[in-house]
Amino acid sequence: MMLGENKRATLRFGVAGNPPHFWDSEFRKDRGYAPAWLRSIGLDALEIQCTYGVRTPDSRAALFREQADEHDIALSIHGPYYITLGTEDPQKRENSLRDLRKSIELAKKVGSRRVIFHPGGAGKDREGSLVRAIDALRVLEVEDEFGDVELFPEIAGKVGQLGSLEEILTICSEISHAWPCLDLAHLHAREGGSFHVQADYEQMFDRIEAALGTEAFDRLHIHMYPIEWGPKGEVRHISLEGAPWTDEPRYEPFLDILAARNLSATVICEAKNSQDIGALTMQAAYRALSP
Ligand SMILES: [Zn+2]
């Protein structure tokens, strides 16, 4: 490599949770073999879903770690959905922190550096909820049990949830170890359909850079899939099984920007029951762009 020449960006594409094709495969005997299955179809990232609690036994965590190492799969952990950090209820806040601690522990066990989570409801007092959510995360910050793990609060699909782009950027600028999980479908849905052309994505990157600096671009964690939305934001994730990706947000202008800016990223597809199809679609489109 010549001095001053930029290193080629690395894009990893992967799935959140195991789609039906995994359960149809020879790897289905244990979800800890999901990394081997992903490698067999050419993908490189897996978000382990702890939707209803962090209950992965240590034996499976060890299998995830071994399989991810062997097959070069980047792992991330998605914390439970009932985390709600902005709550005024001290018990719910404690439970939410407990769930985040368990998610961080699991990340360490599987050798992952990323814990993704939803900050939770915004309640009637949106600003108060945001302040309480940041205060709750400060408890973890003070404990400093992160090791190599970083937190990725995710943009929320419903307007009633904490997690506009600005709110996520505020959390990340206040809390060390926190970086945005850019769920582009959620952002599109909660903003009433905001991603159409390259300039829309450019604007998002500019807002991120203004808030967090270019360091944020070293840790781009993206969720991308077609979504249906209404006045309150997200309605449902759309399936790509047997149907091309014709709904918004469109992935092509987004991939164009990543290529033009030479940005590395992990791109996770959350299309309903067809995460692998969406991830492979985006990977093929990106490869077609890259020289
Ligand atoms: Zn998401």
Domain CATH code at residue 184: 3.20.20.150
Contact 29, 60 (CB under 8 A): no
Confidence band, pLDDT 50/70/90 cuts, at residue 141 = very high
- CA 265 – ligand 1 centroid, Å: 15
Whether 5 is in a domain gets the answer no
Q: How far apart are CA 50 and CA 116, in angstroms?
A: 10
**30 CA to centre of ligand 1 in angstroms:** 24
User: What is the number of domains present in the chain?
Assistant: 1
Residue 75 CB: number of other CB atoms within 10 A? 24
Tell me if 148 is assigned to some domain: yes
Percentage of residues of the chain with pLDDT beyond 70: 97
Name the residue type at position 239: S
The answer to the question of residue 116 being in a domain is: yes
Mean per-residue pLDDT, 239-255: 95
Report pLDDT for 192: 96
Going by pLDDT thresholds of 50, 70 and 90, the confidence category of residue 6 is low
pLDDT class for 130, splitting at 50, 70, 90?
very high
In a domain, 232, yes or no: yes
Gap from CA of 259 to ligand 1 centroid (Å): 22
115 occurs within a structural domain:
yes
Please check whether residue 4 lies inside any domain of the structure. no
Report the alpha-carbon distance of residue 285 to residue 77 in Å, rounded.
26
pLDDT of residue 1: 41
pLDDT at 112 over 70: yes
Is there a domain that residue 284 lies in? yes
**Domain residue limits at 238:** 11-289
Angstrom CA distances, 134 to 84, 149, 167, 174, 252, stand at: 11, 18, 10, 7, 34
By DSSP bridging, strand 74-78 and strand 265-269 are unpaired
CA angle 245, 39, 181 (to 5 degrees): 55
pLDDT digits (tens, 9 = 90+) for 27-85: 999 999 999 999 999 999 999 999 889 999 999 999 999 999 999 999 999 999 999 99
Round the average pLDDT of the chain to a whole number and report it.
95
- Give the pLDDT mean for 12-17: 98
Q: Kindly indicate the confidence band of residue 291, based on its pLDDT and cuts at 50, 70 and 90.
A: low
How far, in Å, from the CA of 54 to the mean position of ligand 1?
17
Tell me: pLDDT of 276 over 60: yes
Structural domain contains residue 199: yes
The structure's pTM equals 0.96
What pLDDT sits at residue 8? 80
**181 alpha carbon – ligand 1 mean position (Å):** 8
Cα separation, 150 vs 79, in Å, equals: 13
pLDDT greater than 60 at residue 5: no
Dist. CA 97–CA 100, nearest whole Å: 5
pLDDT > 90: percent of the chain: 95
Average pLDDT over every residue of 169-175: 98
Mean pLDDT across the stretch 225-238?
97
The residue behind tokens 């249906």 is 228
- Taking the centre of ligand 1 as the mean of its atom positions, its distance from the CA of residue 225, in whole angstroms, is 9
Q: Which residues touch 130 (CB under 8 Å, ≥6 apart)?
A: 86, 122, 162, 167, 170, 171
Confidence of residue 7 (pLDDT cuts 50, 70, 90): confident
220 C-alpha to ligand 1 centroid (Å): 13
